[in-house]
Amino acid sequence: FQELAVPSVHDIGALVAFGSGVVYITLQSIMSYKSCPRWNSYFVCHIRMAISAISCIAFIPMIVFASQVSMTKIDWTPGEKDYTYHFMSAICEWTVAFGFIFFFLTFIRDFQRFSLRISTEIHED
């Protein structure tokens, strides 16, 4: 949702998206350990858990710093009021976002083990 149109809707949407994403990758990391060593190695499980932990750790200051920003704007310049809070919140937000990307990339090897075949039959009555 556009950040400047309705800031509260943007903030709630970001909170739900990032919050549910962090919960998802954490639960998925735990499930990865349960499927070890059949579907993946412990090394991959450790990588997933590390990415999950970094995302969880970055999510909390993202909220704290974003809540300290008193104005909503697109173009920020160093030295402005709340610039540091905005900057730190943005760093944490991008850390979580890239954490999601790297987390999903760890599944490449897992999905290479699957094959899907679909066959269709047409029955004429």
Residue 73 has pLDDT above 70, yes or no: no
Model pLDDT, residue 1: 56
Residue pLDDT, tens place only, 23-38:
999 999 999 998 888 7
**To the nearest 5 percent, what fractions of the chain are helix, strand and coil?**
65, 0, 35
CB 7 within 8 A of CB 72: yes
What gap in Å lies between CA 52 and CA 103, rounded to an integer? 8
40 phi-psi bin (left φ>0, alpha ψ -120 to 50, beta other): beta
Model pLDDT, residue 69: 80
pLDDT confidence bin for 66, thresholds 50/70/90: confident
